Amino acid sequence: MRLKLGVLGAGHFGRFHTLKAARAPRVEFLGLADADPARAETVAGEAGCKVWDVPALLAAADAVIVAAPTAFHHELASAALAAGCHVFVEKPVAATLEQADALVAQAAAAGRVLQVGHVERFSAGMATLQGSAGVGRALYMEAVRIAPFRPRSLDVSVVLDLMIHDLDLVLSLARSELVAVEAVGAAVASQRTDIANARLRFANGAQATITASRASLKMERRLRVFGTEGYASMDFLARELKLVRKGQGEPLEQIPGHGIELLSWQDRDNLEAEQAAFVAACLDGTPVVVDGGAGRAALDAALRVETAVAASLAAALG
């Protein structure tokens, strides 16, 4: 059985989704729709697929990938669910919590899959950490995601553009309600916040610090997790994971009774893995890795960070 799949949106992410979906196993790729006919034809030419209007594509498809700008996520995903389609929607799930709640409720009522595009959940690095048995319950986490400026995704702040990936990862590791957020940030190269630092506190006592920038001079991707059973340090660019745990690994003289393990991984196509998980959820009923609820939680955290950034700026300006 093959999934009749279409893509809504032919921009930066829409193009990548289209090129992957056009060659995906278990998929009968129907084509794409976009508000810009010229852009749609260009991407369709690359993928060797058909250009549709939205209503016709929704009527023909079993499932769609919504990769339009955030402002259109709710409208398009809701229309797709109403047409009986399973929906994959790029992050953030919607522009507001009310829209996110509506999509979650609509998908549940329709019995359709709603998956949100937090692609870092599918990285080989995170799979290596999860396969290592981890470091117990997370007590403190630190994430850094910085990159040079690129003139795309400027319809949202760095919080909804980049930081939301690490917010999702931290939420999945904390497994507890987010109870407090403090943050600072500034616009550097655009009209929206381009660099931000957030401090999060959870109901179970766990805490996290997250830094995101899209206006830096270099790239950096790190995640550190201090847990009840050890410490993990991940460098995603170097593809390296260091684990310090009691009684495991190469003994450490400076930490009696503890050892260190050095693990590495080969990068894989995260987007391909993400799409494959969506197809499996639609065709086989496998659990959705990042469902609407998880997408809603990440959006809630991101909006709370944005509110805290605005408050800190207002206080600084008097």
Residues 91 and 156 reside in one and the same domain? no
Domain that holds residue 97: 3-112
pLDDT of 62 reads 98
pLDDT at 52 over 90: yes
Residues 168 and 309 reside in one and the same domain? yes
Residues 164 and 36 reside in one and the same domain? no
pLDDT at 179 over 90: yes
DSSP letter string, 23-82 = T-TTEEEEEEE-S-HHHHHHHHHHHT-EE--HHHHHHH-SEEEE-S-GGGHHHHHHHHHH
pLDDT at 153 over 70: no
Q: How confident is the model at residue 152 (pLDDT cuts 50, 70, 90)?
A: low
Q: Which residues have CB under 8 Å from 300's CB, separation 6+?
A: 97, 100, 178
Residues 196 and 50 reside in one and the same domain? no
**Which of these three, 95, 112, 129, is where a domain ends?**
112
Residues 311 and 178 reside in one and the same domain? yes
Residues 212 and 249 reside in one and the same domain? yes
Residues 69 and 207 reside in one and the same domain? no
Question: What amino acid occupies position 169?
Answer: L
Q: Which residues pair with 117 in a beta bridge?
A: 90
Q: Calculate mean pLDDT across residues 110-119.
A: 97
Residues 172 and 312 reside in one and the same domain? yes
- Residue 285 domain-assigned (yes or no): no
Q: How confident is the model at residue 226 (pLDDT cuts 50, 70, 90)?
A: very high
The CATH number that applies at residue 311 is 3.30.360.10
| Helices 292-316 + 164-174 axis angle, to 10 | 120
Q: Calculate mean pLDDT across residues 88-94.
A: 97
pLDDT at 50 over 70: yes
**Which of these three, 73, 95, 112, is where a domain ends?**
112
Domains held by the chain: number: 2
Q: Calculate mean pLDDT across residues 115-126.
A: 95
Q: Which helix (H) or strand (E) holds 90?
A: strand 86-90
- Residue 227 domain-assigned (yes or no): yes
Residues 98 and 135 reside in one and the same domain? no
pLDDT of 164 reads 96
- Residue 272 domain-assigned (yes or no): no
Q: How confident is the model at residue 189 (pLDDT cuts 50, 70, 90)?
A: confident
- Residue 283 domain-assigned (yes or no): no
Residues 12 and 70 reside in one and the same domain? yes
The CATH number that applies at residue 15 is 3.40.50.720
pLDDT of 253 reads 85
Residues 95 and 128 reside in one and the same domain? no
